[in-house]
Structure 1
Amino acid sequence: MEAIRKPQRLRCSVQNYDWGRAGEESTVALLFSRNNPIDPARPYAEFWIGTHPSGPSSLLSLGSSDSQPTLLKSWILENPSVLLGDKVFDKWGGDLPFLFKVLSVSKALSIQAHPDKKLAKKLHEMHPNVYKDSNHKPEMAIALTEFKALCGFISIEELKDVLTGVPEITEMIGDEDVHRYMKFKETDPYDKTKVVLLSIFTKLMSTCKEAVSESVSKLKYRLNIENKVRTLTEKEQLALQLEKQYPNDIGVISSFFFNYVKLVPGEALYIGANEPHAYISGECIECMATSDNVVRAGLTPKYKDVQTLCSMLTYKQGYPEVLREAPLNTNISRYTPPFDEFEVDHISLSPRESVSCPPVLGPSIFLVVAGEGSIQMCPGTDEDSIIVGDAYFVPAKTEIRLITGAAGELQVYRAGVNSRFFN
């Protein structure tokens, strides 16, 4: 049984989306280079650790140098209740319930939302080539650098300022809904404001390409003229930045509807089902339910499903909650989002320090993002050296110990099933 529960070092997958950072500028490329050659001219966007078929991890210690490596998912399926823990196996079957990533963003990602379970199942059945699985995808992003994102709709009063201060938007949606919205107060019931915001946003996002192109050109011209006599707001500067990346895209205009969030390193943002968002720039740790379902409607050359996105959104308004790590002890702190599938620990060691990571009731994935040291699989066993890019799958009920040397520092992130799930 102890042999089965031995942690396994992983070879992980990478995604080379065009919004990623190029070569050596990318943390994703740095992590991937631990076990793979990298091309400095290519963008490296996402480092995937997990069992999702779009980017599966394999076991380095069990034949991953062969032509047919042992996939992590295949290995888990040999002893799922032991490796995942009984409660995780009973809830999610023989698979990891979470997907662990690192993102390196140099160009804005699409305006998007992730469907809830009911809609995800429906979309997968209708369009399996676009929506690759039937699971929902709540997610959390933890900033490694300054990380910028659009997330959720701005407040009622802020949106009133947009509707009066961005004439290109009023021209696109018409005066009727604008006049209706201007009568709202922050204290008005959500169901009442939702109907009008849904109407406004759907009209905006459904505007024909020719009208969008004309409106974006007008916006760009007006802001460049006004920039000579006043300092543009952050949102106006962002709109000009997005226009350079995605000319004539509706996302340039619709960006005014969303909260502009700037995370400092260590802060986190969690995003539930049916909430609009778009990552703008920076590098982050990301964890989510095991899914790759994305409904897109702007800032992308990929398939846009505007009607689905507009119909699925919650239309909740207000600034999103920013999570900060809660210390568990001197070396370990935790991010706990309101989702059963995952939580993330940050483990930080100075020179000549060590920390025991006690056994938990579900599986974990450990990723070294900075420094070097060693890992001890269980008390009394030999230590293995670890450096940046090393990733380990640790089975349920398995203790490990992390150690640094005289000159070493170590930064490790651990993803696991939310501890609240076991309570």
Structure 2
Amino acid sequence: MGEEVRLKEEVAVEESINTGVFLRPKWLQCSVQNYDWGRKGGVSTVAKMFRMNSKLGVEDVDVTGPYAEFWMGTHESGPSFLIGLERDGLPVTLKDWIGDNPNVVGSKVVQNWGCDLPFLFKILSISKALSIQAHPDKELAAILHAAHPGVYKDGNHKPEMAIAITQFNALCGFISLKELKDVFRSVPEIAELVGREDTDMILSIGENDEVDSDKMKSSLRSIFTRFMAAKNEIISELIFRMKNRLCSEDKLRILTDKERLALELEEQYPDDVGVISSFFFNYVKLNPGEALYLGPNEPHAYLSGECIECMATSDNVVRAGLTPKFRDVSTLCSMLTYKQGFPEILKGDRLNEYTLRYTPPFDEFEVDYCFLPSSESVNFQPVLGPSLFVVLNGDGDVQFGFSKQKDAIFEGDVFFVPENIGVTLFAGNTSELKVYRAGINERFF
């Protein structure tokens, strides 16, 4: 640890003494969301983490019910509470504690985001597709929240990143022009609804033609909007015909991944426009350790698998398919960027022998992943801004700052670390340790 870093930590400790606020990290009890697309409790990582974090017995988890999301942070829809701290007989939320002790997040964070965490940290366990959706930018989020606060519950934007724990599948962004032309040729049901004029226009673009990007986006917006706004009976008929055609062709040839996906989605959401509109999007398959990030106004739908997710502190979602929830088709179709091409996949930048950092192009967050073999240790140097740590697997010890004291850590533990406090992790003698850290993107500072 360099002299400058050591000095910062000593100053932070001195300030904590002077202000009466002990900057020792705080252990958290976190919230769970039981959305119907979640994995059943018997096989869900979310269920396991919730049980371990809340110190519940095995019998306290419904093995047949869905456990979808484990929330770590300050959002009011799923707050985290400080373990062992009460006020008037009630547990204290992390948000309230930060509000009382703003120095734990740092002055620059307070100036930009107030006395709050600008990021929300999650674990997702997905058994069936989430909705086709996008998250509004800040300007649109404020408008939607003011107009429909019951649906759009905050005025913040929601850029996000998913890091695969298991094989993780998603739809994300619009396919390239070349792939779109292939869809019009190979999926007659889509070409029929789009119409001959627009279909011929797309197919007529040559491989070497210079394509006006604004004109292409306008055409894609027109095509996609017409598709998503089509009457239910028209979509139902097209899906029925597509399903029959693919089931027949499956006996004669190997279906493509996209075709098989459409059939899977039809089983999950019969007669839903999202079944057939899935052909417009990139089909992304992440291996464990790979990450996908999503900016505002980009269409996507998580399909299956488990992941670590981090996002700006918001729960704003504009939906238009693959969901029984409220759909806002006109807003979704008007807000999208209509950018085409396969999304960037992050594999993490190595910080040391045991740690990878995932850095999306958003100020609010970055995520570190630490895989520590048994009996090994690793140091997280002090950083500006607060951090949340979650122990996904294994057990061991943690040491904060220059303290000689070690605290035992176990699977399911979540703890908040104030800015400028270093963290050293020690894996147990018989188990490897897997830990994720969410913090503010270093580029912000």
Instruction: Say which SS state the counterpart of residue 42 (structure 2) adopts.
Output: helix
Gaps of at least 5 residues in structure 1 are none
> What residue number does 2:3 align with?
none
> What displacement does 1:177 show?
1.4
CA distance in 1, matches of 2:246, 2:289: 34
Match 1:49 to one of 66, 69, 72: 72
> What displacement does 1:108 show?
0.3
Is it true that 1:207 corresponds to 2:230 in the alignment? yes
Is it true that 1:77 corresponds to 2:99 in the alignment? yes
Is it true that 1:319 corresponds to 2:342 in the alignment? yes
CA distance in 2, matches of 1:41, 1:363: 37
> What residue number does 1:68 align with?
90
> What displacement does 1:79 show?
1.6
> What displacement does 1:403 show?
0.8
> What residue number does 1:30 align with?
48
> What residue number does 1:409 align with?
432
> What residue number does 2:138 align with?
117
CA distance in 1, matches of 2:121, 2:386: 12
CA distance in 2, matches of 1:404, 1:266: 20
Asked if structure 2 preserves the Cα contact closer than 8 Å seen for 1:366 and 1:414, the reply is yes
Letter in 1 for 2:306: E
Gaps of at least 5 residues in structure 2 are 1-15
> What displacement does 1:24 show?
2.2
CA distance in 1, matches of 2:84, 2:371: 26
Per-residue deviation, residues 15-55 of structure 1 (Å, max 9, x unmatched):
00000000120000010001143221210000000000110
Match 2:166 to one of 136, 145, 148: 145
Match 1:39 to one of 35, 57, 62: 62
TM-score w.r.t. the length of structure 1 is 0.97
Instruction: Say which SS state the counterpart of residue 90 (structure 2) adopts.
Output: coil
Letter in 2 for 1:364: S
CA distance in 1, matches of 2:429, 2:78: 37
TM-score w.r.t. the length of structure 2 is 0.92
Match 1:328 to one of 325, 328, 351: 351
Asked if structure 2 preserves the Cα contact closer than 8 Å seen for 1:177 and 1:199, the reply is no
Letter in 2 for 1:28: V
Per-residue deviation, residues 235-256 of structure 1 (Å, max 9, x unmatched):
0000000000000000001000
> What displacement does 1:182 show?
1.9
CA RMSD of aligned residues (A): 1.2
> What displacement does 1:204 show?
0.3
> What displacement does 1:408 show?
2.4
Match 2:179 to one of 158, 164, 169: 158
> What displacement does 1:67 show?
5.6
Is it true that 1:231 corresponds to 2:220 in the alignment? no
CA distance in 2, matches of 1:189, 1:97: 38
Letter in 1 for 2:331: T
> What displacement does 1:218 show?
0.5
Asked if structure 2 preserves the Cα contact closer than 8 Å seen for 1:8 and 1:61, the reply is no
Match 2:37 to one of 19, 23, 26: 19
- Give runs of aligned pairs for residues 260-279 of structure 1, distance below 5 A: 260-279=283-302
Letter in 2 for 1:297: A
Per-residue deviation, residues 306-358 of structure 1 (Å, max 9, x unmatched):
00000000000000000011111112210000000000001121111111211
Instruction: Report the more deviating stretch, 127-136 or 376-385.
Output: 376-385
Is it true that 1:398 corresponds to 2:421 in the alignment? yes
Per-residue deviation, residues 205-243 of structure 1 (Å, max 9, x unmatched):
001111111111011010001111111100000000000
Instruction: Say which SS state the counterpart of residue 274 (structure 1) adopts.
Output: coil
Match 1:370 to one of 379, 384, 393: 393
> What residue number does 1:176 align with?
197
> What residue number does 2:12 align with?
none
Instruction: Say which SS state the counterpart of residue 247 (structure 2) adopts.
Output: helix
How many pairs were matched up?
420
Asked if structure 2 preserves the Cα contact closer than 8 Å seen for 1:156 and 1:185, the reply is no
> What displacement does 1:378 show?
2.7
CA distance in 2, matches of 1:249, 1:415: 36
Per-residue deviation, residues 73-99 of structure 1 (Å, max 9, x unmatched):
00000121x111111111111110000
> What residue number does 1:358 align with?
381
> What displacement does 1:381 show?
3.5
Letter in 2 for 1:32: F
Instruction: Say which SS state the counterpart of residue 85 (structure 2) adopts.
Output: coil
Instruction: Say which SS state the counterpart of residue 407 (structure 1) adopts.
Output: coil
> What residue number does 1:191 align with?
214
Instruction: Say which SS state the counterpart of residue 328 (structure 1) adopts.
Output: strand
> What displacement does 1:185 show?
4.9
CA distance in 1, matches of 2:115, 2:204: 53
> What residue number does 1:108 align with?
129
> What residue number does 2:24 align with?
6
> What displacement does 1:399 show?
1.4
- Give runs of aligned pairs for residues 250-269 of structure 1, distance below 5 A: 250-269=273-292
CA distance in 1, matches of 2:392, 2:299: 29
Is it true that 1:242 corresponds to 2:260 in the alignment? no
Asked if structure 2 preserves the Cα contact closer than 8 Å seen for 1:101 and 1:285, the reply is yes
CA distance in 2, matches of 1:298, 1:273: 18
What percent of counterpart residues are identical?
Answer: 60
CA distance in 1, matches of 2:351, 2:415: 21
> What displacement does 1:190 show?
1.4
